[in-house]
A and B are shown apart, each in its own frame.
Chain A
Amino acid sequence: MQLPAPLQPQIDAAADGGIPAVDDAERRAIERARAGDRRAFGELHSRYVRMVHAIVMAHASPGDADDLTQEVFTRALVNIQNLQRADSAGPWFAGIARNVATDSVRRRKPSVELTDIAAARPARGRVDDARDVLESIQTIPVTYRETLMMRLVEGMTGPEIALRTGMTPGSVRVHLHRGMKQLTEILARRGLLQ
């Protein structure tokens, strides 16, 4: 996977087992975004959008993931002043993503029949298969689910996940490994292992 050049040194550090650190460019982007600079916010969007998308999809309907991802960044923009520390950007975006996704699930319940009428589509093999696997991922504990979504769906590497989420590389390793083990067992039980 091709990564932006500035990310690589930090990711190497994370791979070595150290705590990944936010780089100066991100620190500056956060400061500028807090001052109201939309371009700087755009930089943060680029850095965190895949993590946010993965978290949203770990909780909510994949059909809503795009809109919810955008809603996360809209809420973040409005509340950017609450982002006090540069090294807490990842957990901060992740927290908003979880709230937005949870709210969406809560809102969706009363009108499930109506919303799903329009969502009901003719069968599409590749998409159906992705949906089946996703449903299986959504049954594993949330701690592992989000990390696994970032790795398997968004193609983020372990070091990159650590950098973005603020988790230690060791924790990410454990989450990936245990999540993968549980997922494999579920897929096997459901006859979905290919």
Chain B
Amino acid sequence: MKDKDNETESNHDYLWDGRGEPDEIIASLERRLAPLRYRSRRSVLRGIFGVRAAAVAAAAILMMIPFFLFNTPDAPATAYEVTLLAGIGRVQPPGGREPVLLTPENIYQFPVGAKLACDAGARARVRMIRSNSNMELGEASLDGPCDVDLVQSSPTLEKLYLHRGSLSARVSANAKPRLFQVGTPSGTAVDLGCIYTVRVRDDGAAELHVSIGRVAFEIHKNNLVIWSGASCVADTAGNITTPVDDDAPAGFREALARHDARKDGNALEDLLNTATVRQSASLWHLLQSAGDAERGSIYDKLAALAPPPAGVTRERALALDRDALEAWRLDIMHW
């Protein structure tokens, strides 16, 4: 390599391992490309690399697209744009005005207080864009039949309320954790940086499935953290199933379902017998929802599968010490 293509020794060293005298061009490129470097998900500004040509085209398209503007007293912090992808959908503007029937070729603004309804078979997309910076916060895909309201839009909280139907959210790294939330009759899904789906059944029960990242599911005083590849169900009475991996062994899932239903005294023993290290996160949640008499055996199993970090003692865990449990959770689900 050293003699190839007439490169100098210092160039080789610097390109190879950063040693030696910095090559001017390479060092310059490193500086110029630094904004693209991987950082932890939340520190990255993304969505700012629209192709220049696309920006021009987008501007032209925007001029051509008729915007149906609903007058609102204050401009929202975030612009919500609705696009109908298939089927029949309508937006009910705030203030009791006539609903607007959506047509696929248009983009509609969706202000706070408005309601979006999609009929069976319809699909719509709601995009969230920060007004003052044009920064994308994410998007929600809706599958009808569904009814969703925009209940709040502020710099600290963006909240949709899903009455029924299915909503899949993709929240951008631009959005701070907890900024984007989806209320349901059974609880609130709070984004912690992820892609997830909430489906509200006709009886109001909400199913939450996380595809990537993590979501907090807040139900009354409970706050569950659901992780990639896991799901749980909450009903309107405040009952919630223990979050579990979609690919958990059938025996474990079945025993967990029996345990959650509180209909089988042997369920706990069965699920502990079938749990592997992969079910540690489920056991972590179970530790908190279990009764005093059950907690010891859950702790022992969890500690055997995923030993607690320093400082998290059996006593603290059984006393449901908040700091201790959080430290253990981060150890189990840290990535």
Stretch from A20-28, A45-53, A86-94 that touches the partner? A45-53
Contact partner, A130, options B35, B41, B59, Cβ 8 Å: B35
- Size class of A's contact patch? 35 or more
- In the complex, A180→B7 CA distance in Å? 11
> Of the candidates B4, B58, B228, B280, which one forms a contact with A116 in the assembled complex, judged by CB atoms under 8 Å apart?
B58
Q: Mark A46-79, 1 if CB is under 8 A from B, else 0.
A: 1001100110010001111111011101100110
Question: Is the beta-carbon distance between A155 and B37 smaller than 8 angstroms?
Answer: yes
Kindly identify, within residues 293 to 335 of chain B, every residue whose CB is under 8 Å from any CB belonging to chain A: 306, 331-335
Smallest CB separation, A28 vs chain B (Å): 14
Smallest CB gap from A129: residue in B: B32
CB distance from B91 to the nearest CB of A (A): 18
Chain A residues, Cβ within 8 Å of B50: 63, 116, 119-121
Q: Are B49 and A38 in contact, CB atoms less than 8 angstroms apart?
A: no
Tell me which residues from 185 to 233 in chain B have a Cβ below 8 Å from any Cβ of chain A.
Answer: 195, 211-213, 228-229
| B38 contacts A177, C-beta separation under 8 Å | no
Q: Which residue of A lies closest to B24 (CB)?
A: A194
A127 touches B276 (CB 8 A): no
CA distance A119 to B55 in the complex (A): 8
B37 touches A193 (CB 8 A): no
Whether A50 pairs with B38 at a CB distance below 8 angstroms is yes
- Establish whether residues B17 and A121, one from each chain, have CB atoms under 8 Å apart when the complex forms: no
**B-side contacts of A13, CB under 8 Å:** none
Inter-chain pairs besides A37-B277, A77-B228, A173-B16, 19 sampled, C-beta below 8 Å = A45-B335, A65-B38, A66-B46, A67-B46, A67-B170, A67-B172, A78-B229, A116-B58, A120-B50, A120-B134, A121-B55, A121-B134, A131-B49, A133-B32, A153-B37, A158-B16, A158-B17, A173-B1, A193-B25
Binding site for B on A (CB under 8 A): 1, 15, 32, 35-39, 41-42, 45-46, 49-50, 53-54, 57, 61-67, 69-71, 73-74, 77-78, 112-114, 116-122, 124, 126-131, 133-134, 151-155, 157-159, 170, 173-174, 176-178, 180-181, 183-184, 193-194
